[in-house]
Amino acid sequence: MHRRGGKRIRMDDPPPEYVNPMTPATPMTDYGGQSVHEPETPNYSNFNVGAVVNSTATEAPREDPEEPAEPAEEEPRSPSPAPTKRITRSRGRGGDGGYVGRLAESPPPPPLRRRGRGGRGRGRGRGAAPPPAYSPPPVLLPGDDENSLYNILRFNKTAINQVVDMWIEEYKTNRESALVQLMQFFINSSGCRGKVTPDMAQMDHTLIIKKMTQEFDEESGEYPLIMTGQTWKKFRSNFCEFIQTLVKMCQYSIIYDQYLMDNIISLLTGLSDSQVRAFRHTATLAVMKLMTALVDVALLTSVNCDNCLRQYEAERLKARDKRASERLEVLVAKRQELEENMEEIKNMLSYMFKSVFVHRYRDTLPDIRAITMAEIGIWMEKFPAHFLDDLYLKYIGWTLHDKIGEVRLRCLQALQPLYECEELKGKLELFTSKFKDRIVSMALDKETEVAVHAVKLVIAILKMHPDVLTDKDCEMVYELVYSSWRTVAAAAGEFLNVRLFRADAEAEPAPVRSRRGKLRPRNAPLVRDLVQFFIESELHEHGAYLVDSLIESNPMMKDWECMTDLLLEEAGPTEEALDNRQESSLIELMVCCVRQASTGEPPVGRGASRKHHQVLSKEQAKVVSDDRARMTAHFMATLPALLDKFGADPEKLTNLICIPQYFDLDLYTSQRQEANLTLLLNKLRDIVCVQTEAEVLDTCARTLDALCAQAGPVYTRCNVARATVTDMCVNRYKEAIDEYRSLLEGGEIPDADEVFNVTNSLRKISIMYTCHNMNDTNIWDSMFEDLPKCLKQNETQMPTQALVYVLRALFYSLLWSLHELEERGAGAGGAGAGGAGAGGVAALRERLHAYCAHCRDIVGQGNAPALREEAYTSICDLLIFFSEHLATLHHPGEPAVRSLVFEPDNELCDLLNDFIQEFVFVQQNYDGQDERRIEELHKRRNLLAAYCKLIVYNVTPIRRAADVFKHYIKCYNDYGDIIKATVSKAREINKLNCALTMELAMQALFNEMMARHTAPHRQLPELLELKELAKRFSVMFGLDAVKNREALTALHRAGVSFAALEHCAAAPGAAPPRRLLFLEPLAEFSGKLLRQDKRHVLKFLESKFSPAPQWGEEWAPLAAYRASLLTDAPDDRPPPARRYARRHRGQNDEEEGDDNAESDQEVPG
């Protein structure tokens, strides 16, 4: 194929398609007619040129890639014409030949593909099924020679060096016999059991390969290189080591004897171009390792040649009377011999590169492509004088576009050590300019490991060529610090360190002082840059991810002194003061650093899954402990000052108050810092007293809870402070509510201040109740008085938000009471032990039922949506806490606890169901209000999850989920994951009830459709939605039809009964019932029935609908449903016409099983 119109194709054009191993690549010719990618015949003699050299030149391009429908059985095809056994040096030097290609040339064009025989891959590894997860260990079969090289390495009997020594001795004695052994080794290593006889060794290598192909195991797709298990993994290692050791131990004479290497290279070159994947894979690996070993020999030869030249020059420069003429002659002869050997090795390398690598780097098998890329990287690193050239680099550049992640990874790994070597900078400039964009874009690769190595390579490029990367390139990598993949983010963090956060070691920065003359820490400029980067990234809610990306690689992330110095010290005359936004960002980043350094846990989404909790190693735990101690020691002294300075800013205050939650409290006593603890507790008390922001108060409550840990050394002091805070909140509430109620009783209207005082005090009460037990303050009755005000008929001027806080505080009061009973019961031998325990249970039961009664009224008749939502959430959670599990699982055998069980009645279940239909499954328009839409969606998802938990924990019957399941398709984007998880859990509880609930959900949708359309038809959108719902439900039953027999049969019977309502089967010629269309979605479940169950359902169907000799169009749903039940029932339908079709040799029973298995796959949900 000639270039069209003389167009010059550039090196960075899109990559080529991969060569079909069954069809050698159609060559691309240069202007002179010589194939650009056809390997030249080098100045190296006695090679069997083999298939690769000439096959592409002689094969005509195919225009039609499709083969005939009935292909004739063909002989195993040799991929090349029969070459001569050897070619002489003179013949090798006779032709100049082509060349690999200049840098500006394009990759080879994609070949026209041809389908394999029979439409599927045959044995011999050609398109065969992948190997199983475990391959059996090797065994010695009858007829195998246990002393063959293959079996010795396979069973790992002898050391590799000893095996090579024995073979070399055999070679010196009888080289023909030793060569046969080596050829047999490569044939057996490919998985072929064919025997190479001494007579065959004299044959042409192409004929040997053809004969071995015929003797290959047709039925097996396995061969040693792809078989799994430790034994086969060891064999692969031994195989590679044997080749390299053989070359190493033969490097001084045997490899230059024009016999061994000629024959081995000829055989492996032919095998690497074979149609058989096993031959091709094994031979390619062997050739690549052979080239790597020859590269090592070339390096040693080059060193010896340099030493010889140096010795010669030293001897020549001696005085005439001291010069040894004989030594000069010896050195000249030795140098000439070394140069000839070097030339010989280069010829071997060039020949194998052009005969094997040029074709196999685009092979269809990813493993082969990965091998070529891994090895060429080794050659370039070891022998840059020969291989580090654009003629070779372009192959790596093209393969960066490979479709398989493993191959792309090998390319990046090959380039990494090259860019880390400063001496190679000049040779990589052109390659970098051509492929830099592709390398940078690979940082976004879908394969995590590829993306990590791409970022590391970009870092190496940045160090070698600082001016090559544009701002756009850098920004692409910058954004990866927020990636959900921790390894990718860490690599991007390292890029940030190199690009932005690196102090100049050469230039000592001028000292910067604060306003009062204090010297700024060395990391101060870097911390400022970090804050600015965080602000400019505009991802202000993800500071924890930025910190996680940098905390392991940059020490400034744990420089607490520097951060607090920037926050507390005023800016000096030579620096710019931090503005409000910069201060907020710095505080947020500092708190994120404190959290991760003291816990060692990455942010949500970057750590291990919940099922596999990450456990710190001893070294990691030691680092975390040290960091926590250092952080605590610093912030014990500085945190009160920070709270003083930023006490008026709620956002900054919220972050700062979090810090004590991560303290090592033992240090307060061991370092005699009780004064600072008292100061901190006083600050927290003042903040709770002054602040009104819910987020600040909630953080204070959690921090007090962390400080009051039972086993803590400062528990007594902190517990007193907590009691002081809670008493203060209760007293404020009592004062405010008494004043408010007195005004109402006197007929006066409370002003805004009185209303605010009540709301604010209730806010603090409800928030403190979440973390602290305040039942001893006896405010239940006072708050309970306000519950009737939540109803519409009892509307008052009390703010809605204040009533929400009342509901929430009473809810937590019930939970703390239950907690007290359980703790008291654990200490007294049972929750009901003693009269005090029984009295506590009775009081709790009375409060529980009274509170729930009010909540039921509020859910149905609340005067505000917020009140109804709070009451609904409280009821759902209380049903979980006080469910049957409380008595059966947590306190079995305790009758007093049994009386606390709170079970929903039908009226309550209906009330909760009506609520979610009104508040959750609604469509609201939020045009241009994305933030509000997301907030509302999050709230509705929580409401739905509260209801679904009742199903999952078996608190309410599964059938109550029918009105939720029916929204699965319509609300899939918003609630699909919640509904699907609920269905899955319901199936685990009871498959039968879950199936009937699915059918009820479909009935509900069908009835809604009937209510909207008086004359429904089969093309209604609502019916299509119902069929899609049935299809999704069907998929959820899985592939095990035996386990689901009862459930699926009951579902069909219920569906048929529903469709047959109002139909009289005995009346001949009766009109079809209105619900007959329901059989259309019901048919989606027929494929899950077993054959005998289909017959059972069919008989039930015929009992409801009498079979007619001919049904009209109005009975089409019944006919379609009946046909779905007749599938796989040969006694109820005529047998299909069987036509004889000859099976192709490559198609076996296992492949037919694969075909059948494909039809059983689940429909994606």
Poorest-pLDDT segment among 128-142, 213-227, 653-667, 676-690:
128-142
* Whether pLDDT at 562 is above 50: yes
* Whether pLDDT at 922 is above 60: yes
Higher pLDDT, 637 or 1017: 637
Query: Is there a contact between 224 and 232 (Cβ–Cβ < 8 Å)?
Result: yes
Poorest-pLDDT segment among 94-98, 215-219, 650-654:
94-98
End-to-end CA separation in angstroms for the chain: 47
Give the tens place of pLDDT for each residue, 1103-1119. Answer: 887 765 556 677 888 88
Query: Is there a contact between 1035 and 1162 (Cβ–Cβ < 8 Å)?
Result: yes
Q: Which two tokens stand for residue 328?
A: 């000069």
Instruction: Please state whether the predicted TM-score (pTM) of the whole model is above 0.75.
Output: yes
Q: Which residues contact 275 (CB under 8 A, 6 or more apart)?
A: 21, 22, 76, 77, 79, 124, 126, 213
d(C-alpha 570, C-alpha 578), whole Å: 9
User: Shortest CA distance to 154 belongs to which of 141, 169, 167, 170?
Assistant: 141
Query: Is there a contact between 980 and 1165 (Cβ–Cβ < 8 Å)?
Result: yes
SS3 (DSSP) at 1066? coil
Residue 97: other Cβ atoms inside 10 A: 16
* pLDDT reported for residue 540: 67
Give the pLDDT band of residue 928 (cuts 50, 70, 90). low
Largest pairwise CA distance in the chain: 134
Q: How many CA atoms lie within 13 A of 171 on its CB side?
A: 20
Query: Is there a contact between 987 and 935 (Cβ–Cβ < 8 Å)?
Result: no
* pLDDT reported for residue 632: 94
Query: What is the mean pLDDT of the segment spanning 463-487?
Result: 91
d(C-alpha 579, C-alpha 569), whole Å: 13
Q: Which two tokens stand for residue 860?
A: 């149905």
* pLDDT reported for residue 35: 36
Q: What's the gap between Cα 83 and its chain centre?
A: 51
* pLDDT reported for residue 224: 82
Query: Is there a contact between 295 and 382 (Cβ–Cβ < 8 Å)?
Result: yes
Higher pLDDT, 382 or 830: 382
Query: What is the mean pLDDT of the segment spanning 620-628?
Result: 92
| Opening angle at CA 239, ends 234 and 244, nearest 5 | 125
Q: Where are the alpha helices (DSSP H) in 353-428?
A: 358-360, 366-382, 384-387, 390-399, 405-419
* pLDDT reported for residue 220: 61
What one-character DSSP code corresponds to residue 29?
B
d(C-alpha 1099, C-alpha 1092), whole Å: 11
Higher pLDDT, 712 or 672: 672
Give the tens place of pLDDT for each residue, 993-1049. Answer: 999 999 999 999 999 888 888 777 778 888 889 999 999 999 988 888 888 889 999
Share of the chain above pLDDT 90, in %: 42
What totals of helices (H) and strands (E) does the chain contain, helices first? 48, 0
Q: Which two tokens stand for residue 1049?
A: 């049969």
* Whether pLDDT at 27 is above 90: no
d(C-alpha 1120, C-alpha 1126), whole Å: 10
Residue for token pair 């269309």: 1077
* pLDDT reported for residue 58: 31
* pLDDT reported for residue 207: 86
* pLDDT reported for residue 97: 36
User: Shortest CA distance to 688 belongs to which of 725, 662, 650?
Assistant: 725
Higher pLDDT, 516 or 674: 674
Poorest-pLDDT segment among 190-194, 842-846, 854-858:
190-194
Q: Name the CA radius of gyration of the chain, rounded.
A: 40
pLDDT, the chain, mean = 80
Query: What is the mean pLDDT of the segment spanning 511-536?
Result: 85
Share of the chain above pLDDT 70, in %: 79
Give the tens place of pLDDT for each residue, 280-291. Answer: 999 999 999 999
* pLDDT reported for residue 26: 33
* Whether pLDDT at 127 is above 50: no
Higher pLDDT, 220 or 40: 220
Give the tens place of pLDDT for each residue, 161-212. Answer: 888 998 899 888 888 888 988 888 888 888 887 888 888 777 788 888 888 8
* Whether pLDDT at 1132 is above 70: no
Residue 482: other Cβ atoms inside 10 A: 16
Q: Which residues contact 983 (CB under 8 A, 6 or more apart)?
A: 961, 965, 968, 994, 998, 1033, 1036
| Opening angle at CA 933, ends 927 and 936, nearest 5 | 145
Residues in the chain: 1165
* Whether pLDDT at 345 is above 70: yes
* pLDDT reported for residue 1112: 64
* pLDDT reported for residue 709: 81
* pLDDT reported for residue 285: 93
Q: Which residues of 869-893 are buried (b: 16+ CB within 10 A; e: fewer)?
A: bbbbbbbbbbbbbbbeebbeeebee
Query: What is the mean pLDDT of the segment spanning 521-546?
Result: 88
Residue 506: other Cβ atoms inside 10 A: 4
| Opening angle at CA 1015, ends 1013 and 1021, nearest 5 | 55
* pLDDT reported for residue 957: 92
Query: What is the mean pLDDT of the segment spanning 901-910?
Result: 92
d(C-alpha 847, C-alpha 813), whole Å: 10
* Whether pLDDT at 1159 is above 80: no
